[in-house]
Amino acid sequence: MTSYLCAIGTANPPHRIPQPQIATFMAGALQLNDADTRKLRALYRVSGIAQRYSVLPDYGRELGQYDFFPNTPDLEPFPTVGQRMAQYRQHALPLSVQAVRECLRQQPSLSLSGITHLVTVSCTGMYAPGLDIELVAALGLNANVQRTCVNFMGCYAAVNALKLANAFCLADANAQVLIVSTELCTLHFQKSHEDDHLVSNALFGDGAAAAIVLGKPAQQGVSLALEAFHCGLEPDGHQDMAWHINNFGFEMTLSSYVPHLIQRGIRQLTDQLLENLPVELSDIHAFAIHPGGRKILETIEQELGLSAHDNRFAYEVLRDYGNMSSATVLFVLQKLLHSLTPADAGAPVLSFAFGPGLTLEAMLLKAVTAETAALHTTATATATKPVGSLASAPGVL
């Protein structure tokens, strides 16, 4: 049996803010001198990001025009966790619903009435009764839909959600799983001169992605069969990528050592994923890599012998949205999925995501259509069906 990623929808808040404009906000908020402002602007220029989205308009405004942050030169009193979570609760639901509606537009034959499982994913906000229950009401899902929440796992969490969806579909061929990943990273701006915070402030944006996983491919277009998963852990990176709840928001640790850790582990991760599969790395020409940052993408290309063109979907998402934590790899997969045609059926797809730990997640997917999946099922059934006395003859089947 196989499960299939059949549709992905994405959504972003209305405030689209160019990267240089965010740099101006940050320089003012941190009260940097001219020399440090130039260094900060250089960091933003080399990030590979042109713009990001936020539920907060303040990042594109000048002092005196802020809605969320205090209109004081040092932003004091700095917003508390409670104030940030109030914003999360206000904005997470409508953004999630928008992503789900977009997901359904990709496959009009699918219906919310058939959803049996709901998996919500987030590391940037939590409350209870939570987003999962609010989505049931807002989308009109069955009250007995099975709900699972994947919280606080960071940028790789959407892969865990896909693992859950895969398990649900393998256990029940009629399962229809809706995944909703919603991250409002910009709520957690830290007014700090530490390098970790300067880098994270330069990378993260807000977005939501919704995906539907079924026990059969979508009736039209191309789906992605979930072929295999593998998780790696680099314990030496325990302190290099972390996520903690403190008094003034969630604080990200993101050291410059992370690309080195990924460089050290990515080849082994890939080999372990593929070692028991009839696929070699050289067979794979489609990639969906979480763009944790430009340097991370370049490091993976060097280690696996990929080109920037192979990695183009990741670069496009990084450029247009920044890093949206767990939702980001679904944005990349959506771009890849939209690029596939029925002629690509059978093509393998390699996907990676990374997060606290340092955790490295890998997935192997395969492009399929309803027709090619049916042919494969028929061929498999024919190959394994006993035929008279030949069924027990050694070496025949």
CATH number for the domain that contains residue 206: 3.40.47.10
Residue 382 lies in a domain: no
Give the model's pLDDT for residue 226.
98
pLDDT classification of 258: cutoffs 50, 70, 90: confident
Query: Does 285 lie in the same domain as 202?
Result: no
Residue 288 lies in a domain: yes
Query: Does 341 lie in the same domain as 233?
Result: yes
Give me the domain span that covers residue 182. 10-214
Query: Does 205 lie in the same domain as 101?
Result: yes
Query: Does 135 lie in the same domain as 68?
Result: yes
pLDDT classification of 364: cutoffs 50, 70, 90: very high
Q: Report cis status (omega within 30 of 0) of the bond before 358.
A: yes
CA distance 156 to 230: 12
Residue 274 lies in a domain: yes
Domain count along the chain: 2
Query: Does 352 lie in the same domain as 234?
Result: yes
Residue 117 lies in a domain: yes
Q: Is the pLDDT of residue 395 over 90?
A: no
Least trusted range by pLDDT, from 91-95, 140-144, 287-291, 373-377: 373-377
Instruction: Read off the pLDDT of each residue in 37-55 and give the average, rounded to a whole number.
Output: 97
DSSP characters over 114-165: G--EEEEEESS---SS-HHHHHHHHHT--TT-EEEEEES-GGGHHHHHHHHH
Q: What is the pLDDT of residues 76-128, one digit of tens each?
A: 999 999 999 999 999 999 999 999 999 999 999 999 999 999 999 999 999 99
**Is 123 labeled as catalytic in the residue annotation?**
no
For residues 80 and 247, the answer to whether their CB atoms sit within 8 Å is yes
Q: Is the pLDDT of residue 256 over 70?
A: no
Give the model's pLDDT for residue 255.
63
Amino acid at 153: M
Query: Does 93 lie in the same domain as 60?
Result: yes
Last residue of a domain, one of 167, 182, 214: 214
pLDDT classification of 325: cutoffs 50, 70, 90: very high
Least trusted range by pLDDT, from 35-49, 155-169, 233-247, 266-280: 233-247
Q: Is the pLDDT of residue 139 over 70?
A: yes
Query: Does 197 lie in the same domain as 232?
Result: no
Last residue of a domain, one of 165, 193, 214: 214
Give the model's pLDDT for residue 239.
66
Q: What is the dihedral of CA 272, 278, 282, 283, to 10 degrees?
A: -130
Q: What residues contact residue 230 under an 8 Å CB cut-off, 6+ apart?
A: 269, 272, 273, 361, 362
Give the model's pLDDT for residue 242.
67
CA distance 98 to 213: 18
Query: Does 66 lie in the same domain as 43?
Result: yes
Pairing mode, if any, of strands 286-289 and 348-355?
A: parallel
pLDDT classification of 380: cutoffs 50, 70, 90: very low
Query: Does 160 lie in the same domain as 36?
Result: yes
Task: Specify the residue for token string 């979480």.
Answer: 290
Q: Which of 6, 103, 123, 155 is catalytic?
A: 155
Query: Does 51 lie in the same domain as 162?
Result: yes
Instruction: Read off the pLDDT of each residue in 382-396 and give the average, rounded to a whole number.
Output: 33
Residue 392 lies in a domain: no
Residue 264 lies in a domain: yes
First to last CA, the chain: 20
More confident position, 396 or 267: 267
Residue 210 lies in a domain: yes
Q: Is the pLDDT of residue 244 over 70?
A: yes
Q: What is the dihedral of CA 212, 9, 298, 53, to 10 degrees?
A: -140
Query: Does 97 lie in the same domain as 178?
Result: yes
Q: Which long-range contacts (CB under 8 A, 24 or more apart) does 129-133 make?
A: 131/92, 131/93, 131/96, 131/180, 131/182
pLDDT classification of 195: cutoffs 50, 70, 90: confident
Give the model's pLDDT for residue 201.
93
Query: Does 353 lie in the same domain as 271?
Result: yes
More confident position, 167 or 246: 167
CA distance 27 to 55: 20
Residue 2 lies in a domain: no
More confident position, 33 or 251: 33
pLDDT classification of 238: cutoffs 50, 70, 90: low
CA distance 395 to 252: 58
pLDDT classification of 262: cutoffs 50, 70, 90: confident
Q: Is the pLDDT of residue 192 over 50?
A: yes
Give the model's pLDDT for residue 387.
34
Helix ranges, the chain (H) = 19-29, 34-45, 81-106, 131-139, 157-171, 195-203, 258-274, 294-304, 312-321, 328-339, 370-384
Last residue of a domain, one of 157, 187, 214: 214
DSSP 307: -
Instruction: Read off the pLDDT of each residue in 302-327 and give the average, rounded to a whole number.
Output: 97
